[in-house]
Amino acid sequence: MALPTSFWLFLSFSLWYCNALALATTTHGPPTTPFLFPETKSTVVPNPARFFSSHLLSSPLPTNSFFQNFVVSNGDDHEYIHPYLIKSNSSSLSFSYPFLLSNSSMVQQIFVPDLTITSLNKTTPSAILNKRHRISSFSDLSVTLDLPSNNLRFYLVRGSPFLTCKAITRSTYLSISTIHDILSFSSDASLTKHIIKLNNSQTWLLYTSAPIRFTHSVSQITSREFSGVIRIAILPNSERKYEAVLDKYSSCYPISGDAKLSEPFRLEYKWEKKGRGKLLLLAHPLHRQLLSGNIVLEGFKYKSIDGDLVGVIGDSWVLKLEPIPVTWHSIAGIRKEHFPEIVSALRKDVDTLTTISTPSSYFYGKEVARAARLALIAEEVGYPKAIPVVAKFLKNAVQPWLDGNYSRNGFLYERKWGGLVTKLGSTSSTEDFGFGIYHDHHFHLGYFVYAIAVLAKIDPASGRQYKPQAYSLMADYMNVGLGSYSYSYYPQVRCFDPWKLHSWAAGLQNYTDGRNQESTSEAVNAYYSAALLGLAYKDNHLKRIGSTLAALEILSAQTWWHVREGNDMYGKEFSRKNRLVGILWANMRDTKLWFAPAEWTACRLGIQVLPMTPITEILFSNAEFARDVVNWALPSLSLSGLSGRWKDFVYALEGTYNYTSAIAKTRKLTEHDDGSTLANLLWWIYSQER
């Protein structure tokens, strides 16, 4: 038996390390036993048993996923499973090849039920329990949705140009109807390929695993007894030349797909398939940028709010990205001559550290992370006196949350879906910005993880003491690939979407436009902080996973939130008027924020920049783009109602291309955002000096 060399290298390295440093046995690597926060019964989470098959209920369930609408409320809001919008009610499944509406204030895909599939054979109405659709399985890249009352199963695989449907047990009579008019319907001689032309200029191809003779009317086609698999795809632009492509790949269908972080900065997809031949799937623009090795059908395009999707052949994909550095201190360093100014600000900022008055998990997290920054800046600019003061503050501030005896809030474990909720959130779906229904976990916990990583660095004894809790907080949103010490009571990744390649903040609530995320910079912060936790505990594995997800989140932010002039993904008017998306939804791009109107562009800038840490430099690595964003946001600073605290972020970004003017403006500031300090702002701008 031969183990891979790298395994041995790792083993011998760690043995050497433990011998060399006796202390390392306690600080090195992950905790030996996973820590579980005290359990609670939430009164506000929905009951997953309404939609998930019973065999899935004993494991943690997805709370921020691409199919979340199917399992909350009535389960009948549509979801975007590229390239189709899909809506399921208890008795039928409708799908839409959406068209894009775009103006200067929003971009949205419109759902029109182009085709609706159902069965003419219903189970008896008395089978009430079976009336709802069921999720019978799910994976990173797919969800399998059953209509038990109709004997139909749908393999909904992301990026599949074919919608795949199967009769579950016995044979069934199929019905495919449309709200449009069927202009023509034809079947080939084998009766396994059929063409539906609609009066909205769409052409749909229908493939069946066995011959079927359909009858049709102007709005419906129906089959006789059928017990196999059917696949339906729209012909891109109704162009005949692509019919051969769909023909060729129609007989191989994916039923599930996994995403694996096998190595740092490398993500692999592998689909489980049935039928004959190779898989044809569609890649979005970021896939296209990272994909290596597969045959790409460049002309074979489907339109999408996320940019054109192109055909890719293969049963697995490899996505490779450029490594990014994860550091405690500024990447390029700061010139010594600026130290005194930073130290003077630091002194005053450290003096402001008293007790934290807010019980909100978000604002509390922001305040501890803000304090933690001061210790790292003190290290960098040579002011060690501040470090023990910050350490003491951090320890006192995070301890009650980690010990579970903070009287005003705390972290608890909720078993129905499998994750943390706050004490306040366990009885309210709005407290802590909906943390109790799984909104924003990576944002809030990211700040806590950041603070604890810094505490572990500057106060190793506290680091050792709270390591189990620190890992448990991190694993609530990033449990992926932790190997033997992964947590069986959390899902793999809560917020990160392995297909879209960024996170979703919205949790267990139905939304017409699917999941959403506002702040990409706070999402980056969550994975960056997890990587820092890895650095603090000398856990290389954790560091690599955190940095890989941070790198993907950054690329996604640059692809879909950062809007370049002339970008044609979102339409001319939208890209002329906007440099940043406000809230990105699966099915919409909004210019509003949850807390501010579209005109408050400085807020839109701020929420995509905060908190400023070394990783911000990678997120805004393009100084020309930063200049465009600042010029777009500056005028809004004079709007009445807009707090002057947002200036922090405008000037921070200005620092990337003009640090002298940014410093001059920063010196005049009289107030700062609650997660920001003068010392951090000066530190950041000086770190941008070129």
CB of 353 to ligand NAG, least distance (A): 19
CA gap 533, 474 in Å, rounded: 9
Find out whether 401 and 385 touch, Cβ atoms under 8 Å: no
Binding status of residue 227 toward ligand NAG by CB under 6 A = no
One residue of 171, 358, 465, 567 binding ligand NAG per CB under 6 A: 171
Cα distance between residue 690 and residue 681, in whole Å: 17
Amino acid type, 276: R
Q: Examine residue 636 and tell whether it contacts ligand NAG (CB under 6 A).
A: no
Judged by beta carbon, residue 103 or residue 621, the one nearer ligand NAG is 103
| Cβ–Cβ under 8 Å, residues 283 and 313 | no
CA distances from residue 270 to 260, 287, 499, 561, 616 in whole angstroms, order as listed = 8, 14, 12, 28, 32
CB nearer ligand NAG, residue 104 or residue 238: 104
- Tell which one of 103, 352, 396, 631 touches ligand NAG (CB under 6 A): 103
Measure the CA–CA gap between 526 and 381, rounded to whole angstroms.
Answer: 25
User: Does 590 qualify as catalytic in the annotation?
Assistant: no
Catalytic annotation, pick one of 432, 522, 648, 673 = 522
| Of residues 15-74, those binding ligand NAG (CB under 6 A) | 73-74
Inter-residue contact 663 to 655 (CB < 8 Å): yes
| 217 near ligand NAG, rule: CB under 6 A | no
* Residue 23 or 101 having the CB closest to ligand NAG: 101
Of 99-107, 354-362, 455-463, 587-595, the segment contacting ligand NAG by CB under 6 A is: 99-107
Residue with smaller CB distance to ligand NAG, 78 or 231? 78
Q: In angstroms, rounded to a whole number, what is the distance separating the alpha carbons of residues 34 and 274?
A: 38
For ligand NAG, the binding residues in 435-454 under the rule CB under 6 A are none
From 83, 93, 53, 55, select the one nearest 71 (Cα to Cα).
Answer: 53
Residue number with CB closer to ligand NAG (249 or 574): 574
Cβ 604 to ligand NAG shortest distance, Å:
16
SS (H, E, C) 252-281: EEEEEEEEEEEECCEEEEEEEEEECCCCEE
Position closest to ligand NAG via CB: 661
When asked if residue 121 is in the footprint of ligand NAG (CB under 6 A), the reply is yes
110 Cβ contact partners less than 8 Å away, ≥ 6 residues apart = 96, 98, 99, 100, 101
Pairing label, strands 99-102, 106-110: antiparallel
Query: Closest separation between CB of residue 554 and ligand NAG, Å?
Result: 25
The helices-and-strands tally (H runs, E runs) of the chain is 19, 31
CB of 644 to ligand NAG, least distance (A): 19
The single residue listed with the structure tokens 């044979």 is 171
Does residue 658 touch ligand NAG according to CB under 6 A?
A: yes
| Closer residue to ligand NAG, CB minimum distance, 46 or 675 | 46
Q: How far is the CB of 512 from ligand NAG (least distance, A)?
A: 5
Residue 263 interacting with ligand NAG (CB under 6 A): no
Which contiguous run of DSSP H or E holds residue 611?
none
Among 82, 158, 180, 442, indicate the residue that binds ligand NAG (CB under 6 A).
180
Q: Is 361 helix (H, G, I), strand (E, B) or coil?
A: helix
Nearer to ligand NAG, 102 or 613 (CB): 102
As measured in angstroms, the least distance from the Cβ of 39 to ligand NAG is: 17
643 binds ligand NAG (CB under 6 A): no
Pick one of 61, 106, 259, 279: the residue that binds ligand NAG (CB under 6 A). Answer: 106
We find the least distance from the C-beta atom of residue 262 to ligand NAG, in angstroms, to be 38
The catalytically annotated residue of 440, 476, 513, 553 is 440
C-alpha pair distances (Å), 390 with each of 346, 355, 378: 11, 12, 10
Active site residue 181: no
Nearer to ligand NAG, 209 or 656 (CB): 656
> What is the per-residue binding string for ligand NAG in 382-421, x denoting contact by CB under 6 A?
---------------------x-x----------------
- Minimum CB distance to ligand NAG, residue 326 (Å): 30
User: Contacting ligand NAG (CB under 6 A), which of 104, 237, 327, 622?
Assistant: 104
Among 26, 27, 53, 91, binds ligand NAG (CB under 6 A): 91
**Parallel/antiparallel/unpaired status of strands 229-234 and 280-283:** unpaired
3-class SS of residue 113: coil
Backbone angles phi, psi at 413, to 5 degrees: -100, 135
Asked whether position 116 contacts ligand NAG by CB under 6 A, the answer is yes
Per CB under 6 A, the segment of 30-38, 464-472, 604-612, 657-665 that binds ligand NAG is: 657-665
SS3 181: coil
- Contact between 461 and ligand NAG by CB under 6 A: the answer reads no
Under the binding rule (CB under 6 A), the answer on residue 199 touching ligand NAG is: yes
* CB neighbour list of residue 484: distance below 8 Å, 6 or more residues apart: none
Question: DSSP string spanning 402-438?
Answer: HHT--TT--EEEETTTTEEEETGGGS-SSGGGGGGGT
Please list, in sequence order, all residues whose beta carbon lies within 8 angstroms of the beta carbon of residue 375, skipping any fewer than 6 positions away: 386, 387, 390, 391, 394, 454, 458
254 in Cβ contact with 152 (< 8 Å): no
Residue whose token pair is 């005109």: 599
Q: Of the candidates 14, 90, 136, 427, which one interacts with ligand NAG according to CB under 6 A? A: 90
* Binding residue count for ligand NAG, defined by CB under 6 A: 30
Q: Which stretch binds ligand NAG (CB under 6 A): 97-105, 249-257, 557-565, 643-651?
A: 97-105
Of 367, 513, 518, 553, the active-site residue reads: 518
Q: How far is CA 347 from CA 92, 385, 387, 672, 679, in A?
A: 65, 9, 11, 16, 9
Q: Considering beta carbons, is residue 77 or 380 the nearer one to ligand NAG?
A: 77
**509-568 binders of ligand NAG (CB under 6 A):** 510-512
Query: Is residue 79 among the annotated active site residues?
Result: no
Name the amino acid, one letter, at 381.
V
Closest separation in Å from C-beta 170 to ligand NAG: 5
Contacts of 195 (CB under 8 A, 6+ apart): 184, 185, 186, 187, 203, 204, 205, 206
Binding of ligand NAG by 89 (CB under 6 A): yes
Q: Measured from the CB atom, is 147 or 245 closer to ligand NAG? A: 147
Chain residues binding ligand NAG by CB under 6 A are 73-74, 89-92, 94, 101, 103-106, 116, 120-121, 170-171, 173, 180-181, 199-200, 403, 405, 510-512, 658, 660-661
The catalytic site residues sit at: 440, 518, 522
